[in-house]
Structure 1
């Protein structure tokens, strides 16, 4: 039993020793092998590798993928015309030489991102100081990004190379500081309100003009219609008078009789009207006297 425990202990120690001597490098990483604190080897190919057990040799890993650094500083920068603007940018970069990177920058990606952020911001500040706001918003932005990338590459490839490669530098937003932005928005709002009020006034004036023209056209149309109606009516009355005159001219007695009937009709047009006349002296009932038996008072009234 003691022999079995001894062999089990030996096996566990051997397994622990073997596990400390084996390590795997992923395809997304660099494997950096240290020997007593010094870099002995950088493994760039993925796979299973061997090393001495700690503390003789140790291994650390650095990301070899393309990394993105986004701007985190909101401090404004001054343009050529002394306008304060805030820009958002990002940088695509990668670690290309792990040995130089560890010696001159740091042991992990965060150290490189911190120093790269400072270099990129300084490069942007220097280039924005040379340009106006219109140039930052126009096609000249490409030249700005190219100049910043060139300056950053010069910094990381200087006397002490960082072992990094800057692939791209991009500006995502250029804006005024908040106080200026609010002022610009207020001016824009006031301008839009002024234009809106001007359009409303113009529309109201045009509406009044259209209504006045419509009223004028209406009055003209009514006047013309009334004129034409009166003209037609006059022509009708003239024609009727001509026909009456022609008809009455053929029989004067009938004409007199017809006019008398019209006069009677117009006189006794209300219920309860009475007239007391002397038929012998009144010309009004001259038409009736030929049909009446003799003279005497005549009482006339209307009945309905």
Structure 2
């Protein structure tokens, strides 16, 4: 290697060494602070390439993504003094870099401990204000949302982190509490079932009574209409008979007699004893010829 090549290599190495001590990069997924002899001079370094003074300046970078803090299950007492084993986790991220560095010295483990302590106190207070039934049967989401809003202001002021969400993965009951809770839940469901059945019977009675009333009205209207139609038919029949009788009384009398014969002698065993001169047989004799 020539002396010129050696000199160029040395210059490049020196340049790289100086650049590594003077230049630094903050990634999009990071937040950072610039320190001057341990004092914060830039509390929120933007992503990109920056310049610092060697020895005088120091850069601390932290993860700016959403982080998860998974707790070990803890025991909490409810309002009715029943213990619950709660398994929960927290979603958080760094919001105020300067405050975060001041409170934790940039140690993520220390931040997790501080955050866990405050969340634990918040959960303990929230569970102490509710019964077992309220926690298990439907107020869990309300509890978590309320706690997230309240604790977010606290941890942002104290630690410089934003609390995004607190969620319960599971709630376990100690063995001695299980049976009492299940009995209470069972009695609640039975009470609701009785209310629904009672309401159903009441509605059914109302529907039946209305149906009976409607049926009575329909039958009465139908009977009235039928009687009216029957009366009109009888009137027309009587009128037709009257008109027919008035046109040919003799023929009408003959037809009526034939009908009477048919009804009287409908069976072979029927016997009648009448005088042969009776009007009943006047159409059975020999026809009279007109002179």
Instruction: Output the TM-score relative to the length of structure 2.
Output: 0.56
The Cα shift of 1:49 comes to 1.4
1:267-293 CA distance string (max 9 Å, x none): 4799xxxxxxxxxx5552468542189
Match of 2:254 in 1: 260
Match of 2:171 in 1: 177
Structure 2 CA distance for partners of 1:264 and 1:282, relative to 1, 3 Å: farther
Match of 1:81 in 2: 80
**Cα distance in 2 between the residues matched to 1:19 and 1:182:** 69
The Cα shift of 1:259 comes to 0.9
**Which is richer in helix?**
2
Contact 1:66 1:94 (8 Å CA) reproduced:
no
Contact 1:88 1:173 (8 Å CA) reproduced:
yes
Structure 2 CA distance for partners of 1:178 and 1:184, relative to 1, 3 Å: farther
The Cα shift of 1:112 comes to 3.4
Instruction: Output the TM-score relative to the length of structure 1.
Output: 0.55
User: Which deviates the most, 41-50 or 57-66?
Assistant: 57-66
Q: Secondary structure at the match of 2:228?
A: helix
**Cα distance in 1 between the residues matched to 2:186 and 2:170:** 14
User: Which deviates the most, 68-77 or 221-230?
Assistant: 68-77
Number of positions where the alignment pairs a residue of Structure 1 with one of Structure 2: 256
Structure 2 CA distance for partners of 1:89 and 1:10, relative to 1, 3 Å: closer
Please report the RMSD computed on the Cα atoms of aligned residues, expressed in angstroms: 5.4
**Cα distance in 2 between the residues matched to 1:226 and 1:41:** 107
**Cα distance in 2 between the residues matched to 1:131 and 1:95:** 34
Contact 1:123 1:152 (8 Å CA) reproduced:
no
Q: Secondary structure at the match of 1:62?
A: strand
Q: Secondary structure at the match of 2:33?
A: strand
Q: Structure 2: which 5+ residue stretches go unaligned? A: 266-275
Structure 2 CA distance for partners of 1:88 and 1:195, relative to 1, 3 Å: farther
The Cα shift of 1:115 comes to 1.7
Larger Cα-atom Rg: 1
The counterpart of 2:118, out of the listed 120, 131, 145, is 120
**Cα distance in 2 between the residues matched to 1:107 and 1:28:** 11
Q: Structure 1: which 5+ residue stretches go unaligned? A: 34-38, 157-163, 249-253, 271-280, 294-304
Contact 2:92 2:165 (8 Å CA) reproduced:
no
Match of 1:31 in 2: 34
The Cα shift of 1:12 comes to 3.5
The Cα shift of 1:30 comes to 0.8
1:252-278 CA distance string (max 9 Å, x none): xx64564134324664799xxxxxxxx
Structure 2 CA distance for partners of 1:119 and 1:42, relative to 1, 3 Å: same
**Cα distance in 1 between the residues matched to 2:164 and 2:5:** 65
